Amino acid sequence: MMKSPDIRAGEALVLSENQQASTSTRFAFIKNSPAYQRWLETYEESDSPFISALRTVTTTVGGWFDENETARVIRSMKEIDPDFRLEKWTGELREYIVPEVVDAYLSADRESLRQWCGEAVRPNLLCR
């Protein structure tokens, strides 16, 4: 007697925690291989006008997708606080933090400035 196929089969997606590790391991293996290292050295040191133009193009296009300083900071903040949202944080800055610091600065409230500002910033603010 033949079993009827399970109609729910294939609907569930199961993610493996090791999936990303295996992909990065695969790329690490390629990047660490002696053949790749020789090819990369030849590519980077080539005086060929075609290779030079190709390097310029790949550097330019690659620069479009590089992580900028803002993205690095946001990623760092999300590592510290997974619930970090830039919009919420900038709203809090605009509505609460910046007005408090500016008011403390304009009224020369040194104690409030000490509470709000780190040691690296304080000498610049308190020199008034």
Q: Give 94-109 pLDDT, tens digit per residue.
A: 999 999 989 988 998 8
Question: 32-36, 70-74, 121-125 — which is least confidently predicted?
Answer: 121-125
Q: Which residue has the tokens 């903040």?
A: 77
Residues 112 and 114: their CA atoms lie apart, in Å, by 5
- Token couple for 106: 């304009």
DSSP class of 117 = S
At residue 77, the pLDDT reads 92
At residue 8, the pLDDT reads 56
Percent of the chain with pLDDT over 70: 78
Q: What is the band of 29 on the pLDDT scale with cuts at 50, 70, 90? A: confident
Average pLDDT of span 14-31? 63
If one counts every other C-beta atom within 10 angstroms of the C-beta of residue 16, the result is 8
Cβ neighbours of residue 118 closer than 8 Å, sequence gap 6 or more: none
Give yes or no for residue 12 having a pLDDT over 80: no
Q: Say whether pTM exceeds 0.75.
A: no
Cβ neighbours of residue 86 closer than 8 Å, sequence gap 6 or more: 74
6 phi and psi angles, rounded to 5 deg: -70, 120
Give yes or no for residue 41 having a pLDDT over 60: yes
At residue 5, the pLDDT reads 56
Task: Calculate ∠ Cα 82-84-90, nearest 5°.
Answer: 170
Taking alpha carbons only, the member of 62, 64, 44 closest to residue 52 is 44
